[in-house]
Structure formats: C-alpha cells, structure tokens
Amino acid sequence: MHYAGGWMSVFGGKEVKRPLKAPSTLFLHGGPGASSRVERLWIKDLAHIDWWDQPRPAADDAMAALLRAVEDKLRRCADAFGGPVHLLSSSFGCELAVHLLRCMPARVSSLVMLAPVFDVPAAFAGLARAQLARTGAETLAPVLSTYRQLPSRTNFWALLEVLLASRNLFDCYWGAASREKMDAFVALLGERQTFDFASFRSTLDDFLIPRADGPVEFRGPVTAVLGSCDPLVDPATAIPAIRLRFPEAGILTVKTGHFPHLEVSSDMWEPEQLHRLA
C-alpha cells in the first residue's frame, strides 16, 4: 500500500515504511505498437510502477530491436532500484517478459502475466469470433472462415485488416461487468492515439517466424491472471502454454475481459500485493 512518503512493505508481519527511490515494478504493455498511455491515465495511485512505453520499431528486424530495447530498459530499472524488480506484463508483453527471464533472470524478483498471449494469430481469431457473434459483421465472416481453413500468414493479415476496421471492436475486449468502466475509460482516453499499426505489423512479421519454446529457469514467484470473459485468451490453450514455460506458476481467474488491471482492484494483479513480497 502507499503512504504520503512512499511505499509500505511487510516484513515479519509488520508494515515498514521505506521511501520510493525508483520504481520497483516494470510494466510491459501489450501490442506490439501500443503504449502505456492508457495505464497512466487510468491508474494513478501506484507510483512504484514504471508505466513504460515500448519503442515502435518499423525495420525488418523489428522484433529483435524491441527485445534489445526491453533488455536495456530492465537493466536500467534494476540498476536504478538497486536490485531485481518485479515484472508486470500484459497480453503480448508477456512474450517480452519470458524473454527477459530467459536472458536476465537475476534482475527480476517476480512475474505477473495479465491475459498472456503466446499465440498471436489464435488470439485475434478468437477476437474475430467474438466480434462476429456480437455484431454479425458480414465482411468478417468470409475472412475468418478462410483463415480457419488455412491459417497462413497471408490469411492472418487479411483477417486483421477487416477485424481492425470493424465497428466498436474495443467493446469486445472488456468483461460484461465492466461496461461502466469501459465507457468512463473511453471518455478519458478521448482522441489520443495509442496504437501504431506499422510497428504492429513489422514487429509481428518478425515475431511470427517459428521458434522453440520450453521451460524458463526462474525461481521467483510467477502468476498468470486470466479474464473469464477474455475473447483473446482461451484457457484450454493458454494454461498449457503457461505451464510449458512456468510449470509451477499460479493461475488466477477473475471476472474480466482482456484488461484485468483496468477492470479489477490492484490486489488481484499488482505483483507486490499478489505475491505478498517485501
């Protein structure tokens, strides 16, 4: 919890005040090509979290460039904090967190994954199914059917082109119990641009090259928070993907859509509270 001068930690059952010298948690937002602007507008009482905006590379090696930037950011965060920091990752940002734990585990205290997306095409196919069921969009049905019959990269981008142009797509991301929050959130966000499609495409084109996955050698606490109404993350495939990387990970399901950190209180997802760490 917070007090006027910093962060209140728990040591031996007693709460001890210590000043905040640098953020103790690094946030890795979804995307790619997105930002943490929405979190900075919406969540203002967690000053110990660095709501970092990832760079938006558009080169042929965009994913590699993004990984280099993430490594550099974690290094600077841990150096500023004076030790390992917590990772709070969302959606595609969970891929970045896994990368960091593979190459820089000593700089990480714990990991929380919010609605982790490890299979981007499958996630957007799920979103397309939800949007089709919600709106009956005639233009979406044929490209979704084509992609499901032949899930190639060409058909994936054809599906994305129609999906991202469909009406009120953002509504699908939220849980049914969060509609009032969604309306307030949209009003707060206004006309601010939070998504760069050119970076999104160049990074994913680089990322979609097949690669090997396996267990991550990390001894700190790991928790995945899944939304029960999330159209992008199917527990039937997400949980095995989580277990593949983190066999001992805790899994928490909350009544949200794809944005647990925007829909429920921070004790359900904030790393220090969730893991009860000092």
pLDDT mean over 225-254: 96
User: CB neighbours of 44 closer than 8 A, spacing ≥ 6?
Assistant: none
* 35 CB-contact burial (10 Å; exposed 0-12 / middle 13-18 / buried 19+): buried
- 187-203 residue pLDDT tens: 766 655 567 888 888 88
Least reliable range by pLDDT among 112-126, 192-206, 246-260: 192-206
Q: What is the per-residue pLDDT for 189?
A: 65
Q: Which helix (H) or strand (E) holds 67?
A: helix 62-81
The CA distance from 97 to 175, in Å, is 25
Domain ranges, ordered by start, for the chain: 2-118+174-275
Mean of all residue pLDDT scores within the chain? 87
pLDDT over 90 (residue 140)? yes
Which pLDDT score, from 0 to 100, does residue 33 have? 86
Q: Which two tokens stand for residue 212?
A: 């090997």
Q: Say which residue, 250 or 31, is predicted with more confidence.
A: 250
Residue 165, both tokens: 């142009």
User: pTM for this one?
Assistant: 0.88
Q: In which band, very low, low, confident or very high, does the pLDDT at 10 lie, cut at 50, 70 and 90?
A: very low
Secondary structure string (H, E, C) spanning 200-264: HHHHHHHHCCCCCCCCCCCCCCEEEEEECCCCCCCHHHHHHHHHHHCCCCEEEEECCCCCHHHHC
pLDDT category of residue 8 using cuts at 50, 70 and 90? very low
Asked which of 59-63, 154-158, 206-210 is least confident by mean pLDDT, the reply is 206-210
Tokens representing residue 226 in the block: 């899944």
pLDDT in tens, 19-64: 457 899 999 999 888 888 889 888 988 999 999 999 887 777 889 8
pLDDT-derived band at 168, boundaries 50, 70, 90: confident
CATH annotation of 2-118+174-275: 3.40.50.1820
Residue with tokens 């601010």: 192
With bands split at pLDDT 50, 70 and 90, how would you rate the model's confidence at 150? very high
